């Protein structure tokens, strides 16, 4: 015999009922079908009961809604001529229910007996409707009231199953029952006095398990709306996947810690008889689902089988010197909680015995504090024990797996991955069986923690990076293009999954929750919300995604001043914007400190040399123990492009305009030609070398006339270049007369930095530097005679974007 249980969504409409009918029709052996109430009906019944107890006649409207919900599958699945019987039953039972509720309204009291009677109507309605539909389809089916099979009794003030009487009644009925299919409403039962009772949360699953136990069924199939138990909650972890095989103990652990597909009491009756359970999807019957049995699975390579969580948890701490070495403290604590019928979810105790910490449901926290403080009132009055403290807004997260005990490093991976994402662990518990490791974390970190753990244990070490990008002009658009092109390669070869979650320019922004469509990002941005840096930051902060990175592709000072609050909230920063690192030494130092304190990466390789590995090379030299003695460099691709293309017969103004058009200069080319951009770059290298200097400490000898430097906009700037045409031609001619070329050079030596135009003689490393290339010479203790040279393209949107992309990848590979 096989037991099948169907959830409420399975009987919600004719389409779903057809799926159920097909599943039942395919069964070859005798079977029992246990049915839940329609989705949401039990909540409506309880709501009607509460309204009646409050003296509100609005329960009548709720009863009308309940009637409408049940008439829908009747009208859809049974011909009109044959509906009268089931509709008469429905209306008759609703009239009885109405009478009960009117009595409750008169008494203004809800008794346990009334609650049990009212809340069980949903299963009786749904099972009777399915029975009539099955009869219409010609099935060999009989309907048996679950209250006539399952008997309950009171034990320790709790209603529990009377197994002896349940077995007698059930076996007696099935001894004479010859129907192929027996329909039984789940959840409902009767006590020994004949009063209606219920089996509590997950009661229909429990009904099915009870019948499977008593009838020694071959298997129990629980048909629901998901394809088995998942590695994590798929609503919070999009990469979650069904678990093919679990042991009873693994499933119990996962269900205890919040996996709602199956409830812990359901499994208990099955363990003794070794009856396998199959979790299947009514709407995708071809899916494998999850098998639960006594065997510990060593397949699928995963030691951790699942991640589960319970929300709305509070931590209660009892601590004080008066607890140390005193026997019976724990007994008194848990005894008083037991008497108050408060369930303890997790326990931790310091080895010093100075404190005991327990986790309870938040709705029981105040009552728990009240009874604990009352029990320890004497010790509290003597200041030997402090009044209990409650910490709310917490979530209990657990990783589960039978094989965890035989594998080292599981807890280490768990804690290190959470720590890297700034998830603070408030409490830890692990049983000697090592079947689960449970932690308490802040509620706001739930999704980040679940995704981080899932990534760590289930996704082949794939690391997900979530990008929040400001600036999608020349550089930003190239970056998005490169990310789109390389996504598949990065996932396959570097195990990196890069998602762009939000994009903003100076006018509009798109704030997503998942990966934006990079093939159509321009259209999405045009339809976006007005740009707002505060809302952009709050969005990144509130999403609280693991491995979040803020990417700044602008040259904006206001955006540069945003970095610190991102870093302080464990959001990494990657930027090509030099303003932050070239700002005051105090601001630069604070950003570095925030990065270290909160474990938030802060990378700015493209601040110097676009995509060239200049800062990385410098850091590696210093980290390996070398000492930088001197740096000489051509650091402006823009200026190098201008000076290389400014030749006899050309107009300096035209060359500058060409450089701007080609994207080699900043939007305001005066920033490049004034030397301030080069000064910022050598300042950054000086600071990365360990020098504590300010921008004003750098000697900057401009080659532009003062009038050019003081122009208010680009138009007047270009006009001034024309006006001073003779000045620029004179500089060029002077260099040519010495067989030299003009280069704008930055130098750092003996703690002194300077930038300015120089005449470079033939034979020098800078002499043949072409186009917009950069070159940097590192003279160190190891590279004393022949410097370490880094040379290559130092400007342009594509190479700058590739440098930013490289920094993003560098974070992913950490």
Name the residues annotated as catalytic. 681
In whole angstroms, give the CA distance from residue 643 to residue 544.
47
In whole angstroms, give the CA distance from residue 96 to residue 433.
51
The answer to whether 342 touches 314, Cβ cutoff 8 Å, is: no
Query: How much helix, strand and coil, in percent to the nearest 5, is found in the chain?
Result: 45, 20, 30
In whole angstroms, give the CA distance from residue 764 to residue 640.
15
In whole angstroms, give the CA distance from residue 47 to residue 104.
13
The answer to whether 140 touches 182, Cβ cutoff 8 Å, is: no
Place of tokens 């100076």: 506
| Pairing, β 496-504 against β 463-470 | parallel
Cβ count near 523 (within 10 Å)? 11
The answer to whether 203 touches 159, Cβ cutoff 8 Å, is: no
Torsion region of 655: left, alpha or beta (phi above 0 gives left; psi -120 to 50 gives alpha): alpha
Q: What are phi and psi of 130, to 5 degrees?
A: -65, -40
The answer to whether 575 touches 546, Cβ cutoff 8 Å, is: no
In whole angstroms, give the CA distance from residue 647 to residue 632.
25
Contacts of 802 (CB under 8 A, 6+ apart): 482, 611
In whole angstroms, give the CA distance from residue 590 to residue 583.
11
Name the residue among 588, 549, 606, 795 with its Cα closest to residue 688. 588
In whole angstroms, give the CA distance from residue 166 to residue 153.
11
Q: What are the helix and strand counts (H, E) for the chain? A: 30, 31
In whole angstroms, give the CA distance from residue 233 to residue 575.
35
Q: Which two tokens stand for residue 789?
A: 């040279």
The answer to whether 396 touches 313, Cβ cutoff 8 Å, is: yes
Burial class (CB in 10 A: 0-12, 13-18, 19+), 548: buried
Strands annotated E in 418-517 = 425-430, 436-442, 463-470, 496-504, 508-511
Burial class (CB in 10 A: 0-12, 13-18, 19+), 423: buried
Contacts of 620 (CB under 8 A, 6+ apart): none
Secondary structure (DSSP) of 696-724: GGSEEE--S-HHHHT-SSHHHHHHHHHHT
Name the residue among 577, 556, 574, 557 with its Cα closest to residue 566. 574
The answer to whether 791 touches 779, Cβ cutoff 8 Å, is: no
């Amino acid at each position: 015999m096989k037991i099948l249980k169907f959830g409420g969504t399975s009987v919600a409409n004719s389409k779903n009922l057809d799926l159920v009918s097909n599943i039942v029709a395919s069964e070859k052996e005798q079977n029992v079908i246990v049915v839940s109430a329609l989705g949401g009906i039990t909540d409506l019944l309880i709501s009607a009961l509460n309204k009646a107890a409050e003296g509100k006649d609005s329960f009548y409207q709720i009863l009308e809604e309940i009637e409408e919900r049940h008439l829908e599958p009747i009208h859809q699945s049974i011909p009109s001529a044959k509906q009268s019987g089931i509709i008469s039953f429905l209306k008759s039972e609703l009239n009885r229910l109405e009478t009960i509720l009117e009595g409750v309204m008169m008494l203004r009291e809800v008794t346990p007996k009334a609650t049990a009677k009212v809340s069980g109507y949903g299963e009786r309605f749904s099972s009777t409707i399915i029975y009539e539909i099955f009869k219409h389809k010609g099935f060999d089916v009989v309907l048996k009231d679950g209250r006539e099979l399952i008997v309950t009794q009171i034990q320790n003030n709790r209603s529990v199953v009377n197994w002896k009487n349940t077995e007698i009644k059930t076996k007696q009925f099935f001894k004479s029952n010859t129907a192929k299919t027996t329909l039984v409403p789940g959840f409902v039962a009767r006590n020994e006095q004949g009063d209606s009772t219920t089996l509590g949360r997950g009661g229909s699953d429990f009904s099915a398990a009870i019948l499977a136990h008593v009838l020694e069924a071959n298997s129990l199939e629980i048909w629901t709306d998901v394809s088995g138990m998942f590695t994590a909650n798929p609503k919070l972890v999009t990469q979650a996947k069904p678990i093919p095989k679990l042991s009873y103990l693994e499933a119990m652990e996962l269900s205890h810690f919040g996996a709602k597909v199956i409830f812990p009491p359901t499994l208990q009756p099955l363990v003794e008889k070794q009856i396998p359970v199959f979790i299947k999807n009514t709407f995708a019957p071809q899916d494998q689902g999850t098998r639960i049995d006594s065997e510990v699975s060593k397949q699928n390579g995963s030691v951790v089988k699942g991640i589960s969580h319970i929300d709305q948890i509070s931590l209660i701490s009892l601590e004080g010197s008066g607890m140390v070495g005193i026997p019976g403290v724990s007994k008194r604590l848990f005894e008083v909680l037991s008497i108050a019928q408060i369930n303890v979810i997790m326990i931790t105790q310091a080895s010093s015995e100075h404190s005991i910490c327990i986790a309870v449901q938040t709705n029981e926290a105040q009552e728990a504090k009240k009874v604990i403080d009352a029990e320890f009132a004497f010790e509290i009055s003597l200041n030997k024990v402090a009044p209990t403290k409650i910490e709310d807004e917490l979530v209990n997260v657990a990783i589960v797996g039978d094989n965890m005990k035989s594998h080292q490093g599981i807890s280490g991976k768990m804690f290190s991955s959470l720590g890297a994402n700034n998830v603070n662990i408030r409490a830890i518990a692990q049983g000697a069986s090592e079947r689960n490791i449970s932690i308490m974390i802040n509620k706001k970190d739930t999704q980040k923690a679940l995704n981080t753990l899932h990534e760590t244990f289930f996704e082949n070490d794939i690391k997900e990076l979530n990008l929040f990008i400001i600036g999608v002009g020349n550089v930003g658009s190239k970056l998005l293009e490169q990310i789109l092109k390389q996504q598949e390669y990065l996932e396959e070869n570097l195990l990196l999954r890069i998602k762009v979650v939000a994009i903003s320019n100076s006018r509009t922004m798109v704030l997503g929750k998942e990966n934006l469509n990079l093939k159509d990002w321009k259209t999405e941005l045009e339809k976006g919300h007005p740009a707002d840096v505060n809302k952009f930051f709050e969005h990144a902060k509130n999403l609280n995604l693991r491995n979040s990175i803020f990417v700044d592709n602008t040259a904006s000072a206001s955006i540069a001043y945003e970095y610190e609050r991102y870093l302080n909230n464990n959001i990494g920063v990657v930027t090509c914007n030099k303003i932050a690192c070239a700002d005051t030494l105090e601001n630069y130092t604070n950003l570095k400190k925030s990065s270290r304190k909160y474990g938030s990466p802060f990378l700015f390789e493209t601040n110097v040399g676009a995509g060239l590995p200049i800062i990385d090379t410098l850091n590696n030299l210093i980290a390996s123990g070398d000492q930088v003695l001197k740096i000489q460099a051509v650091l402006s691709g823009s200026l190098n492009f201008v000076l290389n293309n400014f030749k006899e017969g050309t107009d300096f103004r035209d060359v500058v305009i060409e450089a701007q058009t080609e994207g080699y200069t900043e939007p305001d080319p005066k920033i490049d030609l004034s030397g301030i951009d080069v000064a910022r770059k050598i300042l950054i290298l000086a600071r990365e070398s360990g020098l504590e200097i300010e921008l004003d400490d750098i000697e900057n000898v401009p080659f532009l006339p003062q009038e050019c430097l003081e122009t208010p906009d680009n138009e007047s700037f270009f006009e001034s270049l024309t006006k001073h045409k003779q000045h620029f031609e004179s500089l060029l001619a002077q260099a040519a007369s010495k067989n030299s070329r003009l280069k704008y050079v930055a130098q750092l030596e003996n703690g002194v930095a300077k930038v300015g135009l120089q005449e470079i003689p033939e034979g020098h490393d800078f002499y043949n530097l072409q186009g917009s290339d950069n070159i940097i010479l590192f003279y160190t203790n190891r590279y004393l005679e022949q410097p370490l040279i880094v040379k290559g393209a130092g400007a342009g949107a594509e190479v700058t974007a590739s440098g930013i992309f490289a920094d993003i990848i560098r974070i992913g590979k950490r």
